[in-house]
């Protein structure tokens, strides 16, 4: 089974060198909108960094495959994980753009 490290469960095992994002659970009933924006922004930043790390890991695994340090299946799994993460990121971006365009079309 392929684990996506962006939305993985804490404690799940990832591909070599890729650690799942640990989300901090905070129980704070008095959060301001600016605090929420900062928290969401940091979450997105961590998710994008995770995607970049997966892509770099896929390149490293590909290089290791060429010199015979890893099996083909390990290289293919890391490449597919990176591809799925990039596709997920692209789809999330598309949905955000769609939502923004829909809000801009709404008449007040």
Answer whether residue 68 shows pLDDT above 90: yes
| Number of domains the chain contains | 1
49 falls within a domain:
yes
87 falls within a domain:
yes
| Domain span at 49 | 33-105
| pLDDT tens-digit map of 8-52 | 444 444 455 555 555 555 555 677 888 888 888 898 899 999 999
59 falls within a domain:
yes
Tell me the pTM.
Answer: 0.63
91 falls within a domain:
yes
Written as one string, the DSSP assignment of the chain is -PPPSSSPPTT---STT-----------S---HHHHHHHHHHHHHHHHHHHHHHHHHHHHHHHHHHHTSS-HHHHHHHHHHHHHHHHHHHHHHHHHHHHHHHHHH---
């Amino acid at each position: 089974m392929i684990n996506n490290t962006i939305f993985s469960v804490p404690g799940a095992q990832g591909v070599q060198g890729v650690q799942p994002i640990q989300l901090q659970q905070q129980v704070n009933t008095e959060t301001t909108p600016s605090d929420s924006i900062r928290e969401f922004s940091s979450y997105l930043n961590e998710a994008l960094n995770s995607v970049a790390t997966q892509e770099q890991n896929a390149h490293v695994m590909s290089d290791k495959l060429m010199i015979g340090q890893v099996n083909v299946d390990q290289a293919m799994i890391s490449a597919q994980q990176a591809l799925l993460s990039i596709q997920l990121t692209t789809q999330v971006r598309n949905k955000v753009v769609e939502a923004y365009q829909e809000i801009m079309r709404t008449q007040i």
